[in-house]
Amino acid sequence: MRPSRKLIVMLGAVGAVSLAAWLVATHGGPATAAPEVGQSQPGQQGPVPVFAAAAKAEDVQIILRGIGSVQAYNTVSVKSRVDGNIVQVGYKEGQFVKAGELLLQLDPRPFQAALDQAKGTLAKDQATLANAQRNFERDAALMKDQLAVTQQQYDNDKAAAAADQATVQSDQAAVEAAKVNLDYATIRSPIDGRTGQRQVDIGNLVQASAGTTLVTVTQMKPIYVTFSVSGSDLTRIREAMAQHQLAVAAFDGGDQKQIADGKLTLVNNQVDAATGMVTLKATFPNDDEMLWPGAFVNAHLILDTVKDGVTVPSAAVQMGPNGAFAYVVKDDSTVENRAVTVVQVESNTALIGKGLQAGDKVVVSGQNRLYPGARVALQDGAPGQMNAQEPEIGPQGVGSTGINTPAPGGGGIKPR
C-alpha cells in the first residue's frame, strides 16, 4: 500500500524539527553574526564589571626625552715637565683636591743645586759688570777733560761694560729657569676636582719626554650632560628657548628616579644628516656629585608646563578606526565612546588635549567587553584582580578571554 502525499509531508516536517533540535543541542543555538573584536553582544545579560578612574586636573610638564652621557666640565691629565724620582705622593686615589694642592713631589735637590749655581754665576758676572762700568765711567770723565785716554781705550771699555751687562741679563734668565724647574719638581693640581687612579708610585723615575700621565684630575662641579633629540623637534625647542631658559632633568638608567636638575646651555649648530638627530648639552651644578663622568642617563628636556591639564591613566586610552578614544562612565552606569586627543603619555599618565574634562570617570580596565551604551558595574580594588576572581574559559583555556586580556590585533597607545 503506497503512503499518501499528506503522510510524506508530515514525516518531512518531523525530520526538520528533529534536525533543528540536534543543531541546538550540538552547537548551543542558531548561528549569529560574530561581534567585533574587543566587544560583546549588545544583548548580553548583566552589567560588565570594570575598573574606572576619574580624570584629574594637574600641572603637567611637556618634555622631550634623550639618552645622554655625562661629561666632565674639565679633565686634566697631570704629567711631569722635568725628570726626577718621586719622593712624595700628596693625595689619595679618588680624593677631592683644590687647585694648587700638592699631588706629587719629585726630588728637588738637583733643581735646587742648579738654581744655586745659576745664582752664583749671576753674582760673579754682576761684579764683573760693576768693574767694567767703573772703568767706562772713568774713561768718559778723562775724555771730557781731554786727558790721556785714547778713543780706542774708551770704546773698548764701553763695549766691555755692554757685554758684561748682557751676560748679567743671561744669568738672570738662567736663575729664573732654574726656579721654574724647581717649581716643576712640585706637581700641584691645576684645577678643583677629583683625582683618579694613581699611575706611578713613590721611588719611580719620571721622565718628561715619556709623557707619562701621573694622575687624572676631573672637575665634576659643574658637569655636563650631552644628549640627542630628533631634529624634527628643533623648531619647538627654539621657540621654547625664545620664551625662557629650558630646564633639563636627569634620570637614572631605569628612567625611574630623578637624580639632578640642570639647564640647557647648548643646541648644536647642525643636525646630523645620517641620523636626523641634533645634539644638546645641559649644565648641572652637581653639588651632590650624583652625576658621574662617563655614565649614561635619561635626559628630560622640559619645554613647557601645562597648568591644570586633564590627565587620565594611560590604560584608559584606546585606539580605534577613527583614532584614540576612551570609555566614559555616565551617571546611569552606561558608557559612551568619546574621542580624545592625547598630547603626551608620560609615566603611565596621558595628558588629554580634547575630549575629557576633570572629573569625568573613564574605564581603565575591562574595555574589551564594552560597546557604546553598555551597562557597567564598577569594581573596587586594583585593575587586574577580576581575572583572578572571575576567570573565564576561552579558546586558549582558563582566563584567555579575561577582562584584562587585550583583543587580538587591538591597538593601544604605548607609553614613552
Domain shared by 315 and 381, yes or no: yes
Return d(Cα 146, Cα 370) in angstroms, integer: 128
- Point out the domain boundary residue: 156, 184, 212: 184
> Among candidates 367, 393, 370, which has minimal Cα distance to 313?
367
Domain holding 154, by residue range, is 108-184
Asked if residue 129 belongs to a domain, the reply is yes
pLDDT score for 44: 54
Domain tally, the chain: 2
Does residue 166 belong to any structural domain of this protein? Answer: yes
Q: What is the CATH number of the domain that holds 125?
A: 1.10.287.470
Report the alpha-carbon distance of residue 52 to residue 58 in Å, rounded. 19
Per-residue pLDDT tens digits of the chain, which is 416 residues long:
444 444 343 434 444 444 344 333 434 443 333 344 334 455 556 899 999 999 999 999 999 999 999 999 999 999 999 999 999 999 999 999 999 999 999 999 999 999 999 999 999 999 999 998 988 888 787 777 666 677 888 888 889 889 999 999 999 999 999 999 999 999 999 999 999 999 999 999 999 999 999 999 999 999 999 999 999 999 999 999 999 999 999 999 899 899 999 999 999 999 999 999 999 999 999 999 999 999 999 999 999 999 999 999 999 999 999 999 999 999 999 999 999 999 999 889 999 999 999 999 999 999 988 999 999 999 986 665 554 344 343 444 333 334 443 433 333 444 44
Residue 199 lies in a domain: no
CB atoms within 10 A of CB 275: 10
* 233 occurs within a structural domain: no
Q: Which residues contact 16 (CB under 8 A, 6 or more apart)?
A: none
Q: Is residue 33 part of a domain?
A: no
Q: Is 216 inside any structural domain?
A: no
In a domain? residue 10? no
Listing DSSP states for 246-269 in one string gives PEEEEE-TTS-SEEEEEEEEEEEE
Name the residue among 259, 305, 306, 257 with its Cα closest to residue 282: 259
Instruction: Answer yes or no: is 317 within a domain.
Output: yes
Q: Which residue has the cell 648639552?
A: 281
The pLDDT of residue 145: 67
Tell me, what's the pLDDT at 387?
46
Task: Say which CATH number the domain at 386 has.
Answer: 2.40.420.20
Exposure string of 287-306, with b = 16+ CB inside 10 Å and e = fewer, is: eeebbebebebbbbbbbeeb
CA atoms of 68 and 294, how far apart (whole Å):
10
